[in-house]
A and B are shown apart, each in its own frame.
Chain A
Amino acid sequence: MTDRRDDVDAGRRQFVGWGVAMAGATLAPGVMLFDLAHGRAPEAPAPRGVRWGMLVDATRCAPDCNACIVACAKEHGLPDGKRSTDAQWIRKVELKDLRSGRALGAPVMCQHCAKPPCVDVCPTGASFKRADGIVLVDRHTCIGCRYCMLACPYQARSFVHEPVVNPQPDVPRGKGCVESCTLCVHRIDRDRAPACVEACAAAGHRALVFGDLNDPGSEIAKRVASYATAPLRPGLGLDPGVRYHGI
């Protein structure tokens, strides 16, 4: 009687052991993927010491390509940018050198300044800078005064002039509030590159490089260290997180 019970217990232990092992083998990749997909837990603060930035290589920006703009509009549910009241978080500026006639183009978006004038002038503190350098607007405290739009030296901010259509779950937007490029913060927090950067790479240009400017091993830091880059309007001393090459 006792021996039989021991046999059953041994079988049960083996069964439970295999079950746990199989469950572990099944769940572990999922847990790992979940961890990868959510690079930062929702309640965790933005990492200090990181300075997210972007390098725009104007020499690689193809004249007839607007993949970055299309990707941004799709990612954030933005209008097509045909009217002056439409929000445009990124725009392609066509440039012609007044001396040489050389033509080139470069996308312009929020430059995510280290000393952002929009944050300084915002009366309610709705415009703010995260610890990792990303400049955002808190939709709940923006009163729509547009003072930040006057203050921005890059004309990078938009005002939502009409009720929002096509809202995206990761991108809170609202009529009467100011908004601008978030550097795709919802993707960064899941360890993904901004939509414009992915689209540029997919189009085969690789004119946009995203990464941590403070990490000497990152591609952006290496490229910034290896050839001449400059911010827009450097004389203002705002230390933008977006740098340009070839202008």
Chain B
Amino acid sequence: MPPVAANPQSESRRYWGLVALAALLALAGYAAAHHMDVNGHAVTGMDNRVVWGLPHVFAILMIVAASGVLNVASIGSVFGQAEYKARAPLAGLLCIALLAGGLFVLMLDLGRPERMVVAATHYNFTSVFAWNVFIYTGMFAVAAAYLWTLMERRMSRWSGPLGVAALVWRFVLTTGTGAIFAFLVARPAYGSALLPPLFIVLSFAWGLAVFLVAQAAAYAWCGRALPEAIHARMRRLLGVFVAAALYFSLVHHLVNAYFAQQQAFERFLLVDGGLYPLLYWGAFVAAGSVAPLALLWRRGAPSAASTLAAALLVLLGAFAWLYVFVIGGQAYPQPIFPGFDARSSFGDGAIARYAPRWPELVLGIGGVALAALVTLVGARAFAFVPEDPATTPAPAARGAGAD
């Protein structure tokens, strides 16, 4: 991204400093995964009850956001909105970056990460995980081809069809991610046909929130201000997405709470489960949904800073929602002996305790850092920062910043 600054050398140092920090954190994530690989997952907080932990929260958040961020491009290419079309390249880059970050975490958390070649050569086609191997690699390919049509003038006539392909593929990808849980018959938390559409709605909000954060950073870096008309449109859109995500999540719990066999679990998750109700109501509903809505929909002209704050709160809520969904869903015991009080050395009948430890936290942060690194490098190498005619700096100023 070409900075517009009085002192290009200083800007360049800041840029490379950011790149170095992101690379270092990504490397730390890899080192944490290596530590897990050598010593086994016993060094993490995961165990035989909570088998998916913090790494999966990070990974799913990035993968779902990767699909959602492409909406910005689709609104431009498929629905012909010029303001969004200018943002399509950045959306495509963020999609690839987030997908890379999410898969980095997911793959390095495997018990046998060196067997990725096995995962790439042995397929069980009844497994939604195996489908996702194709869906994720396909998303990379579609997003890259779409970016090519956006960046290369000779290919621009293909940007429409590839925009449609990207739109369809992103729906497939989020459906696949939601289906990972929807296909689990065993646990009260999962096994619902509502989950894939719920994940799609969540991806709208999370993806746009990521986009708004990246866009704010890019504009701040370039010393530009987002045109108010565009700011207002994107702000309102995020509000609609956040409201829809909150609605879907509440309906999911409402339906579950209606079934007698699900009531104890819903009570645990939403009322007396300690950390989980706190995260759901406090972090997802209040801080991650209601507060952003208040910031986005308040009267007057909300500032760019308040929109950025709303987007960051949405991402905080996203993390909390996934923590409750993934870990809370496993912490509650399975109903193997209904009508009995069950106890065993393997945690039957008991709430599982999960306390994340540093390797899984560092691995998750490493994935985010990798996504940031890909974005930083991509934005530097290509013209991914949106160009709005009204705010584009004078050529002289642009030239001063491009180093």
Contact = CB atoms under 8 A, between A and B. Distances in A.
Interface of A: 81-88, 91-99, 108, 117, 119-126, 140-147, 149-155, 157-163, 174-178, 232-233, 236, 247
B278 to A, nearest CB: 23
Given A159-B111, A176-B112, 20 more contacts: A84-B352, A88-B345, A95-B341, A97-B339, A98-B339, A108-B336, A117-B184, A121-B126, A121-B183, A121-B184, A123-B124, A123-B130, A124-B118, A124-B123, A143-B115, A145-B111, A155-B336, A157-B48, A162-B42, A163-B39
Which among A83, A92, A94, A124 has the highest number of chain B CB atoms within 10 Å?
A124
Contact of A247 (B133, B180, B330, B337): B337
28 contacts: A83-B47, A85-B47, A93-B336, A95-B341, A96-B341, A117-B184, A122-B127, A123-B123, A123-B127, A123-B129, A124-B119, A125-B122, A142-B111, A143-B116, A144-B112, A145-B111, A145-B129, A149-B48, A150-B52, A150-B190, A151-B184, A153-B336, A155-B348, A161-B48, A176-B111, A177-B112, A233-B335, A247-B340
B122 A124 contact: yes
B347 interface: yes
B361 to A, nearest CB: 18
A94 to B, nearest CB: 5
Contact of B342 (A82, A94, A124): A94
Interface string B179-200: 0100111110010000000000
A161 B42 contact: yes
A233 B336 contact: yes
Given A84-B47, A84-B49, A177 B127 contact: no
A155 B111 contact: no
Interface string B143-159: 00000000000000000
Contacts of B37: 176
B143 to A, nearest CB: 23
* A93, A119, A120, A154 pick with most chain B CB within 10 angstroms: A93
Contacts of B347: 84, 155
B40 A176 contact: yes
B47 A232 contact: no
A144 B48 contact: no
B127 to A, nearest CB: 5
Nearest to A118: B186
B110 interface: yes
Contact of B340 (A97, A117, A149): A97
Contacts of B128: 121
Contacts of A151: 183-186
B398 interface: no
Nearest to B41: A161
B336 A124 contact: no
A81 B48 CA distance: 11
B334 interface: yes
Given A143-B110, A161-B40, A149 B51 contact: yes
A158 B110 CA distance: 14
Nearest to B340: A95
Contacts of A124: 118-119, 122-124, 130
B343 interface: yes
Nearest to A143: B115
A29 to B, nearest CB: 44
B111 A162 contact: no
Nearest to A164: B40
Nearest to B129: A123
Contacts of A97: 339-340
Given A117-B186, A153-B185, A146 B52 contact: yes
B259 interface: no
B328 to A, nearest CB: 13
B344 interface: yes
B133 A123 contact: yes
Interface in B205-223: none
Given A123-B124, A125-B122, A158-B48, A144 B111 contact: yes
Contact of A120 (B126, B335, B344, B352): B126
B197 to A, nearest CB: 21
A177 B133 CA distance: 20
